[in-house]
Homo-oligomer: A and B are copies of this chain.
Amino acid sequence: MISDFAARRQTLWVQLIAFLLVLLSAGYAQAADPLPSWNDGAAKSAIIDYVTKVATPGSTAFVPVEERIAVFDNDGTLWPENPMPFQMAYAVDQAKQMAAKDPKLAENPMIKALIADDWDTLMAAPHHQGILDIVALTHAGMTVDEFRQQVEDWMKTARHPRFKVGYDQLTYQPMQEVLAYFRANGFRTYIVSGGGADFMRVWSQRVYGIPPAQVVGSTTKVVYELRDSGPVLVKTMDNLVVDDKAGKPAGIHEFIGERPIAVFGNSDGDKEMLEYGTIANPLPSLGVIIHHTDGVREYQYDVNPKSSGTLVEALKEAPSRGWTVVSMKDDWKTIFAPK
């Protein structure tokens, strides 16, 4: 009897300790702030409340893990788009470098204007010919492996003109926390951006923890060739599909094949994607707009952006759609990831 009692007492102790451990770990999980770079406020609460309710088993808003898909615009949402989108900065640097090595390239008046930093001429060319010529020179005619190497080399050496660090050092720390927080709660995180898929896939894993297959971007046709050295894919300018505005829901359908339930954007280019994720979605959804309100720490723009990033229509729609608008000035403690 006594040994029986002792055994039972021991069992009770084990159960009590296990129970305390569960309480402690639950308490710790509650206490740890998943978004430490966000100031307390409506935006932060909206994000945390949403993730908590869809990821908590038994919650009426619970969403099975297979259906937890979150999509993020890149330029202006995960990193800046000023003084120009970073991919355009790449194209400009690369075109200048190519023209320095091969003077004949300057026979193209657009490349000549670029070398002279004559942006008035470049932007005045009809049908965006200035930009297209620069993009064609730097984004087509090479294999995808050669392009990848060129982007990697540039990313190692190029410096942002204002912040004087590598472009990939300029991701928004609050959004890095959002990406990690969503993934920790079973979400698949996708980039859905007007930027080139081939450009973003070079560094998406390293910079955001997002693998190439989860990057949806603008594409052009690649052509397969079996060379003596092995198979290659050559980049062309044919069949350009721009992953912007109404192209974003189409791109999401084509690449992911399912509707997202959480959508993060910052411009009118993200409006249709925000609608697609949040209007009449049978699953609980979240729409978030990053509003560039901080001219001191970053850039302030919406109606008249310096480069891309016009935000008028989506901002107007936000209240009626229930989209959360994040003020970078007020909602973010820090802008960039610490060096």
Interface members, chain A 191-244 (any B CB < 8 Å): 197-198, 201, 211-213, 215, 219, 221-224, 226, 229-231, 233, 239, 241
- Distance (whole angstroms) from the CB of A244 to the closest CB of chain B: 12
A95 → B minimal CB distance (Å):
24
Contacts known (A256-B213, A257-B197); A222 close to B239, Cβ less than 8 A = no
Most buried by B among A224, A256, A281: A224
A280-B213 CB under 8 A given contacts A224-B246, A250-B222: no
- Could you mark each residue 272-283 of chain A with 1 if its beta carbon is under 8 Å from any beta carbon of chain B, else 0? 100110011100
Does A144 reach chain B (CB closer than 8 Å)? yes
Q: Does A258 make an interface contact (CB < 8 A)? A: yes
Contacts of A229 in B (CB 8 A): 280
Over the window 255-285 of chain A, the binary record of Cβ atoms lying under 8 Å from chain B Cβ atoms (1 yes, 0 no) is 1111000000000000010011001110000
Cβ A212 vs Cβ B144 within 8 A: no
Q: Judge whether A258 and B197 touch: CB under 8 Å.
A: no
**Chain B residues within an 8 Å CB radius of A257:** 197-198, 201, 211-213, 215
- Determine if A4 is an interface residue (Cβ-Cβ < 8 Å): no
Is A212 a contact partner of B258 (Cβ separation < 8 A)?
A: yes
Bound together, the chains give a CA A268 to CA B268 distance in angstroms of 45
A249 interface hit (Cβ, 8 Å): yes
How far is B215's CA from A281's CA once the two chains are assembled, in angstroms? Answer: 23
Q: Tell me, yes or no, whether A253 is within 8 Å of chain B by CB.
A: yes
Query: Which residues from B are CB-within-8-Å of A211?
Result: 66, 257
Tally of this chain's copies = 2
A49 on the B face (CB < 8 A): no
A255 pairs with B224, CB closer than 8 A: no
The interface residues of chain A, by DSSP majority, are classed as mixed
In whole angstroms, how far apart are the Cα atoms of A254 and B238 in the complex?
14
What are the residues of chain B within 8 A of A279 when measuring CB–CB? 226, 230-231
In-complex Cβ contact of A230 among B222, B233, B256, B280 (8 A): B280
Q: Are B239 and A275 in contact (CB under 8 A)?
A: no
Contact of A212 among B213, B215, B249, B256 (CB under 8 A): B256
The answer for the CA separation of A313 and B212 in the assembled complex, in Å, is 32
Chain B residues within an 8 Å CB radius of A239: 239, 241
A201 surroundings in chain B (CB, below 8 A): 257
5 closest residue pairs by CB, A with B: A230-B280, A212-B257, A224-B246, A224-B249, A201-B257
Sample of 8 further A-B pairs with CB below 8 A, known A212-B257, A223-B250 = A197-B254, A213-B213, A215-B257, A224-B247, A224-B249, A231-B279, A233-B249, A239-B241
